[in-house]
Amino acid sequence: MAQPIPSEDALDASLASQQRVIITNSCGEKLVGLLHDTGSKKLVILCHGFRSSKDDEIILNLTAALTSKGLGVFRFDFSGNGESEGVFQFGDYWKEAEDLHAVVLYFSEQKYEISAIVGHSKGGDDVLLYASKYRDVHTVVNLSGRFALDRGIERFLGKDFIQRIKKDGFIDVVDKTGKVLFRVTEESLMDRLNIDMHAACLSIDKGCRVFTVHGSADEIIPVEDALEIAKLIPSHKLHIIEGANHCYTEHQEELAKTVVDFLTSIQIVDAAVVGEL
């Protein structure tokens, strides 16, 4: 049975105070995002998934849910995606983590407190990689990120992708009409294959709280990936949404509530700790 998603009124409310913000990444490319200002200096940064954008349904619904609780939100397009500058690449996981770093630095300079970084799918890997390298954000939410990055490639490229890309240097991914959707170069493929999520998870600081949410019926990234991540990160909490697919098509409201409940519960704990000091 389908669950309702936030109404258009709720989404409109979350967009009412939005401000377009452009941030330059380390490559000199302009990243385009929208700041949802609730008057709070606590900010949640939302990261979209593979070949998606800041306007993805999951990102919009999370924005509505978080701003309704008074949290500020920044949602943006990674380089090569959406409105941001750059060329889309099949890999670029570490580059996207660096895009996120540029965003965190920008808002930190604007005196915002980055409450959490939240990523869906590839964005989930991006936030985990970020936490493995940087120590400036202490709450990370991974929504359906992939643990084994050597899997799932055949879905796009076919079983003989290694031989084909070694021969031609690239593979064009086409739709049913033959239109080229994107090109996978050997460099971008190796960029993905060389990422070690096992090592990255072990490198995350013990003081960083990581929350993983995954659908039990995820047809793109199996729920086993979430279980592997949970084994390796010290301060980790795992939540499985029964029956949810990769995009949480019929579980948008439950996903948003799950994320909001986790982040607001952390705020309560942190406030209590500060009060005891």
DSSP state of 34: E
The C-alpha atoms of residue 195 and residue 149 are separated, in whole angstroms, by: 7
Cα 146 versus chain centre, distance: 11
Amino acid at 150: D
The C-alpha atoms of residue 220 and residue 208 are separated, in whole angstroms, by: 27
Residue holding tokens 């076919």? 158
Confidence (pTM): 0.90
Domain regions of the chain by residue span: 18-149+196-264, 151-194
Average pLDDT of the chain is: 92
Checking DSSP bridges between strand 139-143 and strand 209-215, what pairing results, if any? Answer: parallel
Cα 66 versus chain centre, distance: 15
C-alpha R_g of the chain? 18
Per residue in 4-15, pLDDT (tens digit) is 344 444 444 444
Q: What is each CA distance from 18 to 37, 99, 225, 237, in whole angstroms? A: 6, 21, 35, 31
Q: Of 215, 1, 25, whose CA–CA distance to 120 is shortest? A: 215
Alpha helical stretches, state H, 74-180: 93-109, 122-133, 154-157, 161-168
**Burial (Cβ within 10 Å: 0-12, 13-18, ≥19) of residue 217:** middle
Per residue in 124-157, pLDDT (tens digit) is 999 999 999 999 999 999 999 999 999 989 888 9
The C-alpha atoms of residue 249 and residue 38 are separated, in whole angstroms, by: 28
Q: Which residues contact 263 (CB under 8 A, 6 or more apart)?
A: 44, 66, 71, 115, 116, 139, 141
* Percent with pLDDT over 90 in the chain: 86
Instruction: Name the CA dihedral angle for 204, 239, 141, 47, rounded to a multiple of 10 degrees.
Output: 130
Checking DSSP bridges between strand 236-241 and strand 209-215, what pairing results, if any? Answer: parallel
Per residue in 206-231, pLDDT (tens digit) is 999 999 999 999 999 999 999 999 99
CATH architecture observed for domain 18-149+196-264: 3-Layer(aba) Sandwich (3.40)
The C-alpha atoms of residue 126 and residue 86 are separated, in whole angstroms, by: 17
- On the CB side of 110, CA atoms within 13 Å amount to 17
Q: Which residues of the chain have pLDDT under 50?
A: 1-16, 274, 277
